[in-house]
Amino acid sequence: MDLLVRNIIGEGGFGCVFEGRMPDGKAVAVKQLKAGSGQGEREFKAEVEIISRVHHRHLVSLVGYCISDSQRLLIYEFVPNKTLEHHLHAKDIPVLDWPKRLKIAIGSAKGLAYLHEDCHPTIIHRDIKSSNILLDDAFEAQVADFGLARLNDTAQTHVSTRVMGTFGYVIVSFDSSQPLGDESLVEWARPLLIHALETGEIGELVDTRLEKHYVESELFRMVETAAACVRHSAPKRPRMAQVVRALDSEGELSDLSNGVKFGQSTVYDSAQYSKDISKFRGMAIGSQGSSEFDTSSGDYSGRINHIP
């Protein structure tokens, strides 16, 4: 099957993403994996077969692949409304409102819960971030790039991980020899989230562009769930199914709270807290440069293997 590949629409640790067209005119996204994974054709096909069997409304579907010498292409369905990163950080676009943000969080959690607990074999994403959460025209989230860590072990992701058991847990660790930078957001988030829960000052964590247009009870659920997800002790972190129930207002938060109570914060003095909140906002919410939407162009024509 012939495939026409044109403009670059994204670039990340695993390779470039191009906009493509099938012979019938259907739009697709084509990810060209970086060379040098050392993986043979048989191993690559085996991993692609696993990914291709994953189907969920909140996961981007793989529809084909191409192998040519050392080049590896993955063909995905095209999701038209760019990424969460774009809608959070791009200039001169409407502010993403609270209902959409909550819907995106719930959809992303549902996609990850399926990978962790319902597909066989289970898949650990290893590089979840806002640029890997694609949005359709209704702002429904679709998680991308799952399974790619196994296809290309040389890719530079922002953390190193170690899978624990079969529950989908991942131990997140950072290289202690390197200075903590923007990629270590979780290390900043943990104490800030806990402090907000203990003092009740959860509004301090909110994007100021929302201008208090959010539901406080939903925000509390989101903050408490996030705090549980970044606990130091990985076995005490919730499963993704618990996260879905918590965000979707279907479950009790008692199994996530781990004894946190309001009004008992000893983590920060007020001056340090204000200082760190400003840095947190700059890292997590503030405008950033991104290579996700490079508009440079290139052409590629090749044959792909269609996945039924």
What CATH number has the domain bearing residue 239?
Answer: 1.10.510.10
161 and 256 housed in the same domain: yes
Q: Which domain holds residue 95?
A: 84-284
Q: 65 and 103 share a domain?
A: no
Report the SS3 class of residue 62. Answer: strand
Where in the sequence numbering do the catalytic residues fall? 127
* pLDDT greater than 70 at residue 308: no
Question: Over the stretch 269-290, which tens digit does the pLDDT of each residue have?
Answer: 555 545 555 555 555 555 444 4
Cβ neighbour number for residue 132 with a 10 Å cutoff = 24
Secondary structure of residue 120 in the 3-state scheme? coil
39 and 166 part of one domain: no
Distance CA 53, CA 76 (A): 13
Residue 8 clears pLDDT 60, i.e. is over it: yes
Same domain? 11 vs 130: no
**Residue 55: Cβ-neighbour burial (10 angstroms; 0-12, 13-18, 19+):** exposed
pLDDT at 296: 37
Of 24, 18, 73, 23, nearest to 45 by C-alpha is 73
* Digit-coded pLDDT (tens) for 235-264: 788 889 889 999 988 667 766 754 444 444
Q: Do residues 28 and 77 make contact, with C-beta atoms less than 8 angstroms apart?
A: yes
- Residue 39 pLDDT: 58
Q: Percentage of the chain surpassing pLDDT 70?
A: 61
Q: Are residues 127 and 217 in the same domain?
A: yes
Neighbours of 287 (CB within 10 A): 10
72 and 92 housed in the same domain: no
Residue 34 annotated as part of some ligand binding site: no
Are the C-beta atoms of residues 258 and 231 closer than 8 Å to each other?
A: yes
- The per-residue pLDDT for range 170-204, each reduced to its tens digit, is 444 434 344 434 344 455 566 667 767 777 778 88
Same domain for 51 and 26:
yes
91 and 155 in a single domain? The answer is: yes
Tokens read off for 287: 């405008």
- Average pLDDT for 127-146: 92
End-to-end Cα separation, the chain, in angstroms: 13
Residue 21 belongs to domain with CATH number: 3.30.200.20
Instruction: Tell whether 255 and 119 lie within a shared domain.
Output: yes
Q: Distance between alpha carbon 73 and the CA centroid of its chain, in Å?
A: 21
User: Are 189 and 103 found together in one domain?
Assistant: yes
Any domain includes 290: no
Exposed e or buried b per residue across 226-241, where buried means at least 16 C-beta atoms within 10 angstroms of its C-beta: bbbbbeeeeeebbebb
- By DSSP bridging, strand 71-77 and strand 169-173 are unpaired
Query: Could you give the number of structural domains in the chain?
Result: 2
